[in-house]
């Protein structure tokens, strides 16, 4: 279904060619929604040519970059009114962009989020239901990284930049700064975002990840509007500081 005057860009970041990237790109070109372009940014050291041919795909090679530099480069090249992001270990459900575009067209919101399915060895490891709950979408985002990178379609004009110095959790800070004072629609239990894991989602968290998380939690602590939420967040910060300190 074509939604008038709504063009989308998918920004795909990768460090190499291979089966994972092919799977990710197939999920893009097979979308039921066709009004889109696909920007592939390779930030690895080796250039490659895709076997998949589709006139909507453009490949850029950015050597000696990190993932957030690649995302920022993709944003600069994007033509869509709205954008979404994808990594090579991820997929988009074939109906996600159509459902998302319909919601954005009728609500006129700044973004729309779907649920996320995490898979390991072709089995479901975890489901993350998109839910703005009683706390409110943005308040929850200030407290924890609640938006998997490929679960949100966001208006390009409100996008800030990804922090280059935070390669593991830069998307959390990007969404905090981009979505302030914005409206986001939530597509309940529709799992349009799929992430393939090599390890369980919990075991993949490194000390570097925890350090970035701690830095972001402290940086945006004062923006949390609720006094009670601040109390719980302060406890979480102290607990994380202890855990990070014990490892170092």
Same domain, 197 and 225: no
Name the domain count of the chain. Answer: 2
Q: For 187-243, what is each residue's pLDDT tens digit?
A: 978 999 999 998 755 555 788 999 999 999 999 999 999 899 999 999 999 999 998
Domain range for residue 145?
8-204
CA 93 to each of CA 23, 26, 129, 168, 202: distance values in angstroms, whole numbers, following the listed order: 12, 11, 15, 24, 24
Per-residue pLDDT of 130-165, as tens digits, reads 877 656 899 999 999 999 999 999 999 999 999 999
Does 3 map to a domain? no
Q: Is residue 213 part of a domain?
A: yes
Q: Are residues 228 and 145 both part of a single domain?
A: no
Tokens of 215: 């830095």
**pLDDT for 198:** 83
* 22 & 110 share domain: yes
Please give the Cα distance from 20 to 193 (Å, whole number).
15
Measured in residues, the chain has a length of: 248
Q: Are 43 and 69 in contact (CB under 8 A)?
A: yes
- Provide the whole-model pTM: 0.93
CATH of the domain at 180: 3.90.550.10
Say if residue 56 is in the same domain as residue 114: yes
Q: Residue 243 is inside which H or E element, if any?
A: helix 227-247
Q: Does 141 lie in the same domain as 222?
A: no
Average pLDDT, the chain: 92
Diameter over CA atoms, the chain: 55
């Amino acid at each position: 279904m074509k939604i008038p005057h709504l063009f989308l860009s998918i920004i795909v970041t990768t460090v190499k060619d291979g089966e994972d990237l092919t799977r990710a790109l197939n999920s893009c070109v097979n979308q039921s929604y066709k009004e889109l372009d696909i920007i592939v940014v390779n930030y690895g050291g080796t250039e490659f040519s895709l076997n998949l041919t589709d006139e909507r795909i453009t490949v850029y090679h950015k050597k000696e970059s990190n993932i957030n530099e690649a995302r920022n480069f993709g944003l600069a090249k994007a033509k869509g009114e709205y954008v979404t992001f994808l990594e090579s270990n991820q997929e988009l459900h074939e109906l996600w962009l159509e459902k998302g575009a319909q919601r954005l067209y009728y609500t006129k919101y700044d973004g729309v989020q779907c649920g996320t399915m995490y898979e390991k060895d072709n089995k479901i490891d975890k489901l993350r239901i998109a839910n703005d709950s009683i706390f409110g979408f943005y308040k929850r985002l200030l407290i924890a990284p609640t938006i998997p990178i490929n679960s949100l379609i966001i208006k390009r004009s409100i996008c800030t930049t990804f922090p280059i110095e935070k390669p593991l959790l830069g998307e959390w800070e990007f969404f905090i700064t981009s979505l302030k004072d914005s409206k986001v629609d939530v597509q309940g239990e529709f799992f349009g975002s799929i992430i393939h894991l090599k390890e369980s989602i919990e075991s993949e968290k490194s000390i570097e990840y925890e350090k970035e998380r701690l830095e972001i939690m402290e940086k945006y602590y004062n923006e949390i509007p609720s006094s009670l939420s601040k109390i719980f967040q302060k406890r979480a910060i102290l607990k994380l500081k202890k855990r990070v300190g014990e490892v170092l």
